[in-house]
Chains A and B, each alone.
Chain A
Amino acid sequence: MDLRETAEESAFRLEARSWLEANVPQEPLPSFDTAEGFARHREWERKLYAGRWSAVSWPEQYGGRGADYIKWLIFEEEYYRAGAPGRVNQNGIFLLGPTIMEVGTDAQKSRFLPTMASSEIVWGQAWSEPNAGSDLAGIKSKATRDGDDWILNGQKIWASRAVWADWCFGIFRTDPEAERHRGLTFILCPLDLPGITVRPIAQLDGDTGFAEIFFDDVRVPVENTLGEVNKGWNVAMATAGFERGVSLRSPARFSEAVNRLVALWKRLGDKSDTALSDAVTDVWMQAEGYRLHTYQTVTGMLEGRPIGAEASLNKIFWSEMDVRIHEIALQIIGPEAERMEGPLERWVDGFLFSLSGPIYAGTNEIQRNIIADRVLQLPKGM
């Protein structure tokens, strides 16, 4: 155990810091869930790619730096420290990309990864359906084989980034006779094909960060299948494990948020309110705990102990911590917390966004079931 940075890691940190200081936009970009904001974020992603910072943990041949996970965490710390824009291609670079690297063919890797790293193609996610939310295996959208094509039919919902994204990835039922978890296939699909209708859904904050996607006899070639046919559930769970485990919410995001919270408390907090200072300290410790836990997890991954169902613990932890950070911030802010625009709007926006955390990427109740079943070995209930 040595929790100090190596010289190489410090050099990497400095390199990232100086690039970010020189390149991060001075003014915050508009939300990437607006047309203008989306375009501006795509531009930013291109700039990151040109500096080879868009996917640092990817192999160099796909536009990354071949950095290990520790360096990835360091990069993330610098990224949040610099106040850099949100990652509009999160679904691609952090979710689909690693899955393609794990189960994709060589042809798929060279076809999809470079354009993903450069955000020439921005990816949306198409998993949930109106009747397949927490019960994701209840998916009804179908893919029917016709020669060298799949014909897609059905409806997806809560498809994040789908309003402006170029492609989406989703799971479709390919064997209606099979048991629920079998007979599903993971398919990649452009969003501008005939037969596709994307209907934006306004979120709690009013932005259209997600959408419904209707598939009406949409034809995609079978080489867009990721992993084996009828094994889509396993592919999706590999993606979901990575998402819940490490990549979706790096600790730096929360370290940065609690540091801002402490600054807010210093500026506006009632210093005689010890319950408030306890709350600030408590959530600061949580962020620190999450950071340390992640470094421990990542060291384990580097030493060949892959993350399993305990990934669900992370997802519960960060999502509830995020809500707590923002609840405390709004308590400090007081009357200004009622305003959607103003000097402190970032906290109000952040509060609304934080409320989605316990729901998306598998609700926290589903995560608790997963922990109980797979980590604690309790009997299945459903």
Chain B
Amino acid sequence: MKFSFNEDQRLFAEGLRELLNNECPATLVREVWEDGSGHSPALWSHLAGMGVLAMLAPEADGGMGGTFVDAILLFQELGRAAVPGPVLEHMAVAVPALSSSSFGADLVSGTSIGTTWVDGSPYVAHAGVANLIVGDGRVITGFATNDAHGMDGGRRLATVSGGDITSIRTSVLGVSPFDAMALASAAYLIGLSERMIEMAAEYARVREQFGKPIGSFQAVKHLMSDALLKVEFAKAPTYRAAFSASIGADTTVRDISMAKALASEAAYRTSRSTMQVHGGIGYTWEADLQLWMKKAWAIMRAHGDATLLGYLFALMLVATAVRLFIPMSADGRDVITVVAAVALVLIGLVTGTLAGLLGIGGGVVMVPAMVVFFSELNVVAKGTSVAVIIPTSIMGTWRNWKADNVDLRVAGIVGVAGIVSAIGGGIIADHMSQDLSNILFASLVLVVAMRMIFDLRRDSTN
């Protein structure tokens, strides 16, 4: 166990920080905002020249052959400087996903610019400056764009129309483009936060009120310390997620979403605290802080807000299904009772009903969530916790009914269907092997998962 970066990784990050100090000062970030381009070709060629853009492409394709661990501090440095343009999208997705394709050479050299469209948003960030857009399993070229007036001038949003679609494998070193963006964004958010804290600390040292620097007041010190606390404790989970991704760990998706969640929360808290420390200046267009805050607010919502959870839960459903397909050990099987099997079948039906009629219900989400998040392998524990949902729902319905909150027509359809299928399911389950009932449930869960993925992808392409 060794949780640290090696000399090369640290030196490369320091080199990038130095480059960005010179080539990406706040004045440049502001310039790019104000000229409406959202991108600096000069800075882009510096990043290409240093090898940053091609960090994640294999050496055989002209890249640096780096892993996510090699890249994670670079994402963080890019955030510190609030680097504008599609640098994350290009570096974390377009280059590694496409480096060996016909698009590869130009992407690796940086002469062609790639952005991504994988988070289910109706808008594509940076589409106006990009030559190609990477979606899940496809690349779009030759598209037209219409600016959508995003809040962050260094991340122009656009709607996209037309274009040619090429179907292509878009795996990013074994990680989905979506997860690769979430991971890169987590580190970028940490970098943004670090710089916001520095700006506010600098301001608090020089701004005087009551004859003293405001940084000497405890109210200000505590605001600042709390922001730092959030940021520091988001770092280790983010680095761990990079490590998990680089070795293809089973927990990669979980670890990435944990990193993104913590980094987003840290960046938001930091933006609030540092703005407060700046006082009235913090609310002005003139203060550089806004360039960082708005980028944080944009990115914390992208690459894994609700949609990340959607995908994540779909994946957890798949994981649950896979586990059920695998026959349990003799010990495990001994304790699967008829009740547990019936409960599993019932829940399969409830799952189907909820997924079909309502989207996604709490129980469906919760159980696989607990299975995956907390490594709960015991089928009986699972079945038991699953069974808890049924009386809970009955009670909830009853209470809602008393409060006139129930649409009886819909409830009737669902209820009758549920009762009939439950009885049917129970009879069938009694005459069915436990492995088979597990497999049936698993299949149902799989269908739900695939449907969710299908819906999410359809949303993102529309």
User: Is B truly associated with A?
Assistant: yes
Main secondary structure of the interface of A (DSSP, over half): helix
Q: Flag if B262 contacts A2 (CB, 8 Å).
A: no
Q: Is B54 an interface residue (CB 8 A)?
A: no
Q: Which residue of B lies closest to A316 (CB)?
A: B229
Q: Are A378 and B216 also in contact (CB < 8 A) when A285-B258, A292-B240, A293-B235 are?
A: yes
Q: Which residue of B lies closest to A74 (CB)?
A: B1
Q: In the assembly, what is the distance between CA of A70 and CA of B56, in Å?
A: 30
Q: Is A22 an interface residue (CB 8 A)?
A: no
Q: Flag if B392 contacts A272 (CB, 8 Å).
A: yes
Q: Flag if A371 contacts B225 (CB, 8 Å).
A: yes
Q: In the assembly, what is the distance between CA of A247 and CA of B308, in Å?
A: 37
Q: In the assembly, what is the distance between CA of A274 and CA of B201, in Å?
A: 37
Among B213, B215, B261, B366, which residue has its beta carbon within 8 angstroms of that of A277? Answer: B366
Q: Is B408 an interface residue (CB 8 A)?
A: no
Q: Flag if B218 contacts A369 (CB, 8 Å).
A: yes
Q: List B contacts of A369 (CB < 8 A).
A: 218, 221-222, 225
Q: Flag if A271 contacts B388 (CB, 8 Å).
A: yes
Q: Is A112 an interface residue (CB 8 A)?
A: no
Among B69, B221, B244, which residue has its beta carbon within 8 angstroms of that of A378? Answer: B221
Q: Is A192 an interface residue (CB 8 A)?
A: no
Q: List A contacts of B205 (CB < 8 A).
A: 377-379
Q: Is A353 an interface residue (CB 8 A)?
A: no
Q: Is B27 an interface residue (CB 8 A)?
A: no
Q: Flag if A3 contacts B236 (CB, 8 Å).
A: no
Q: Are A70 and B216 also in contact (CB < 8 A) when A277-B366, A313-B229, A365-B222 are?
A: no
Q: Is B204 an interface residue (CB 8 A)?
A: yes
Q: List B contacts of A303 (CB < 8 A).
A: 4
Q: Flag if B1 contacts A5 (CB, 8 Å).
A: yes
Among A9, A317, A365, A378, which residue has its beta carbon within 8 angstroms of that of B229? Answer: A317
Q: Flag if B262 contacts A377 (CB, 8 Å).
A: no
Q: Are A378 and B204 also in contact (CB < 8 A) when A4-B1, A262-B374, A295-B1 are?
A: yes
Q: In the assembly, what is the distance between CA of A3 and CA of B261, in Å?
A: 21
Residue among B197, B244, B373 having the largest count of chain A Cβ atoms under 10 Å: B373
Q: Flag if B1 contacts A3 (CB, 8 Å).
A: yes
CB within 8 Å of A: which of B205-247? Answer: 205, 212-213, 215-218, 220-222, 224-226, 228-229, 232-237, 239-240, 243-244, 247
Number of interface residues of B (CB under 8 A): 53
Residue among B4, B226, B370 having the largest count of chain A Cβ atoms under 10 Å: B4
A-B contact count (CB 8 A): 155
Q: Flag if B363 contacts A289 (CB, 8 Å).
A: no
Among A270, A285, A300, A375, which residue has its beta carbon within 8 angstroms of that of B228? Answer: A375
Instruction: Report A110 CB to chain B, min CB distance, Å.
Output: 32
Q: Is B398 an interface residue (CB 8 A)?
A: no
Q: Which residue of B lies closest to A377 (CB)?
A: B201
Instruction: Report B103 CB to chain A, min CB distance, Å.
Output: 31
Q: Are A281 and B373 also in contact (CB < 8 A) when A1-B239, A381-B217, A381-B221 are?
A: yes
Q: Which residue of B lies closest to A321 (CB)?
A: B233
Q: Flag if B4 contacts A299 (CB, 8 Å).
A: yes
Instruction: Report B262 CB to chain A, min CB distance, Å.
Output: 6
Q: Is B362 an interface residue (CB 8 A)?
A: yes
Q: Is B381 an interface residue (CB 8 A)?
A: yes
Q: Is A26 an interface residue (CB 8 A)?
A: no
Q: In the assembly, what is the distance between CA of A5 and CA of B3, in Å?
A: 11
Among A3, A5, A262, A270, which residue has its beta carbon within 8 angstroms of that of B240? Answer: A3
Among B1, B5, B247, B389, which residue has its beta carbon within 8 angstroms of that of A9? Answer: B1
Q: Is A368 an interface residue (CB 8 A)?
A: yes
Q: Flag if A1 contacts B69 (CB, 8 Å).
A: yes
Residue among B215, B233, B243 having the largest count of chain A Cβ atoms under 10 Å: B233
Q: Which residue of A lies closest to B247 (CB)?
A: A4
CB within 8 Å of A: which of B124-151? Answer: none
Residue among A271, A284, A288, A293 having the largest count of chain B Cβ atoms under 10 Å: A271
Q: Flag if A293 contacts B232 (CB, 8 Å).
A: yes
| Among all A-B residue pairs, the 4 with the closest Cβ atoms | A372-B221, A378-B215, A292-B236, A381-B216
Known A284-B373, A289-B234, A296-B239; 5 more pairs at CB < 8 Å: A272-B363, A289-B236, A300-B4, A368-B225, A378-B205
10 contacts between A and B (CB under 8 A): A2-B243, A266-B385, A317-B233, A367-B225, A369-B218, A377-B205, A378-B215, A378-B224, A379-B204, A380-B216
